[in-house]
Amino acid sequence: MLRRTFINLVLVLAMLLTLGASVVSAAPPAQEELTYTIKLGDTLWALGEKYLGSGTGWPALMAATNQKNIEDSTFAYIKNADLIHPGWKLSIPSQADAEAFLKIWDPGKPELLFGKRAGGQLVVGSWWTAGGEAEGLSGMFRIYKEKYPDVEIVNATVAGGAGTNFKAVLKTRLLGGDPPDTFQLHAGLEVEGYSPETYLAPLDDIYASEGLEKAFPKDLLTLLKYQDHYWGVPVNIHRSNVLWYNKAVFEANGLTPPANFDEFVTVAEALKAAGITPFVLGTKDGWEAGHIFEDILAGTLGAEKYNGLWTGATSWTGADVAQALGNFKMMLGYANPDHSAHTWDSAGEFLIAGTGGMMIMGDWTDGWFTSKGFKGYGWAPPPGTKGIFVALSDSFAMPKDAPNADNTRNWLKVCGSLEGQEAFNPQKGSICARTDCDPALFNAYLQSAMVDWGQDAIVASVAHGAAAYESWATDYKDVLTLFVASGDVAAAQAGFQQACVDAEICQ
Ligand code: GAL
């Protein structure tokens, strides 16, 4: 609803600007600031129409109320424009104040909707809006708020798995010199895409003051260092290669999770015969096929050859990559036909409902299942990947122009701390980047991931920023989007090869 509201707002603003009209049309006579108590059935949109002449005035109402709340807590604090309650006290700004606000309002900058407490703001950019992700982030916010109650935390999320939409918004803000205070950044080569030397602050001093070089494993530190500096503080380790399955469905059909691609066919046929969609996926956001295929590559080529794909040691045009594409094509033959309409989490609903049997997705799915109260899921390495851990890590970075630099530095300290990571990871469905978290806080899946992280061959995820520069990772994902539609193995291999040449790794 709010998304629609944002879109409406943008369209209406664009129309008005084109017509050269003032921002708020059909303005009622200028009026003074008012106090209003919400009644059953009110919406901010309707109140905007009533008092400001247009529903598009709702952000002015929200901002004015939140600012008032800081001075006088009898006014409401509106976190989400769609969630307002009867009895809440609102501040309706004067027409002139509303117009002034709407002139600067930008839906990409939610911090404008929130006031500034004595300690200023902390604007946190991420794409964590799904169940599990959102709760994990709130856990870290809670720790921060306990320490810095005077700071207004603004949760500047942009929905879309793997940062599909967030990254574009962030780039615009960085380039415009108007960034959030901190933002989600995958550990690894993704940082190159943000020109860190120009736009980001190196975090070496925070690593030193917080003893972070001792807190994280060596391989992770290596992945985090780019051009001799640390640019992000990691909050977790995620595993890309997990095959999730519905335990009741598997039990009812006498099945065990497939360890290799031949077994996958056997299991998928049995599920199909039982009227269950064997393999569920969503491809709506353009990254999911790239995610699944990195796990198939690792399962088909093995760890060493998989690593070689990103260094030029393994050819993209060889028979084993063709085999991996063949395996993917086989799996797609068992997939839900409407996958292009689904995101990773909406595809997961099939598994919860028991109408789908298996799904390959990262272990944020564990956090998501947990947030949905679903306990009937099992997990296993996807075919061929036993003993391989396809890894990625989320970190938080600091733009050079971060408006609230001190608050950001304190945030990054919370991100790297034991209490921050223990508040975040059990809900997020990831394990700590730190090595000293208490395993007893984590569920059975995450405890198994901790064991595997300690003993498996670790390889880097490309779909989530670790293995390759952003431009190469994007080309790789685009090749797979075409492949899912066409099934053309030769064309996909040619596309991969070209992407590797463009990345200046292949000749
Ligand atoms: C990944 C990210 C995870 C999770 C996932 C789905 O890129 O690292 O933390 O959020 O996207 O959105």
Task: Tell me what pLDDT residue 31 has.
Answer: 77
Average pLDDT in the chain:
94
Task: Tell me what pLDDT residue 3 has.
Answer: 43
Confidence of residue 28 (pLDDT cuts 50, 70, 90): low
Q: Is the pLDDT of residue 481 over 70?
A: yes
Nearest-CA residue for ligand 1 atom 9 is 394
Please give the Cα distance from 33 to 438 (Å, whole number): 52
Q: Is the pLDDT of residue 235 over 60?
A: yes
Please give the Cα distance from 497 to 491 (Å, whole number): 10
Q: Closest ligand 1 atom, CA of 430?
A: 9
**CA 160 to ligand 1 center in whole angstroms:** 9
Task: Tell me what pLDDT residue 114 has.
Answer: 96
- Order of all β-strands in the sheet with 377-380: 277-279, 356-360, 243-246, 377-380
End-to-end CA distance of the chain: 49
64-96 pLDDT, tens digit each: 999 999 999 999 999 999 999 999 999 999 999
Can you spell out the DSSP letters for 73-104? TTS---SSTT---TT-EEEEPPHHHHHHHHHH
Provide residues with CB under 6 Å of ligand 1.
127-128, 133, 161-163, 186, 238, 362, 364, 392, 394, 464
Residues 377/440, Cβ–Cβ less than 8 Å: no
Nearest-CA residue for ligand 1 atom 7 is 162
Residues 388/456, Cβ–Cβ less than 8 Å: yes
* Coarse DSSP helix, strand, coil percentages of the chain, rounded to the nearest 5 percent: 50, 15, 35
Residue 249 in tokens: 């469905």
Nearest-CA residue for ligand 1 atom 1 is 162
Residue 266 in tokens: 């056997």
CA of residue 123 relative to chain centroid, distance: 16
Mean per-residue pLDDT for 266-289? Answer: 98
Please give the Cα distance from 90 to 34 (Å, whole number): 8
Please give the Cα distance from 232 to 415 (Å, whole number): 10
Residue 430 in tokens: 């990831």
Please give the Cα distance from 450 to 213 (Å, whole number): 20
Q: By three-state DSSP, how is residue 125 classified?
A: strand
Task: Tell me what pLDDT residue 303 has.
Answer: 98
The owner of tokens 């994280």 is 216
Mean per-residue pLDDT for 260-281? Answer: 98
Confidence of residue 116 (pLDDT cuts 50, 70, 90): confident
Q: Is the pLDDT of residue 495 over 50?
A: yes
Q: Closest ligand 1 atom, CA of 364?
A: 4
Q: Is the pLDDT of residue 2 over 60?
A: no
Q: By three-state DSSP, how is residue 25 classified?
A: coil
Phi, psi for residue 456 in degrees, rounded to 5: -80, 165
Residue 118 in tokens: 């004595």
For residue 134, the surrounding DSSP H or E stretch is helix 133-147
The share of the chain scoring above pLDDT 90, in percent, equals: 93
Choose which residue among 238, 390, 393, 474 to substitute to test ligand 1 binding: the one with the highest number of ligand atoms within 8 A of its C-beta.
238
Q: Is 209 exposed, middle or buried (0-12, 13-18, 19+ CB in 10 A)?
A: exposed
Cα-only R_g, the chain: 24
The b/e string for 25-54 (b: 16+ C-beta within 10 A; e otherwise) is eebeeeeeeeebebeeebbbbebbbebbbb
Confidence of residue 389 (pLDDT cuts 50, 70, 90): very high
Residues 289/484, Cβ–Cβ less than 8 Å: yes
Residue 366 in tokens: 């564990």
Mean per-residue pLDDT for 213-231? Answer: 97
Residue 380: count of CB within 10 angstroms of its CB: 18
Residue 316: count of CB within 10 angstroms of its CB: 22
Please give the Cα distance from 47 to 364 (Å, whole number): 38
**CA 406 to ligand 1 center in whole angstroms:** 27
Q: Closest ligand 1 atom, CA of 130?
A: 12
**CA 236 to ligand 1 center in whole angstroms:** 11
Please give the Cα distance from 182 to 123 (Å, whole number): 7
Taking alpha carbons only, the member of 466, 406, 499, 431 closest to residue 144 is: 406
426-447 pLDDT, tens digit each: 999 999 999 999 999 999 999 9
Confidence of residue 144 (pLDDT cuts 50, 70, 90): very high
Mean per-residue pLDDT for 327-341? Answer: 98
Q: Closest ligand 1 atom, CA of 465?
A: 7
Confidence of residue 30 (pLDDT cuts 50, 70, 90): low
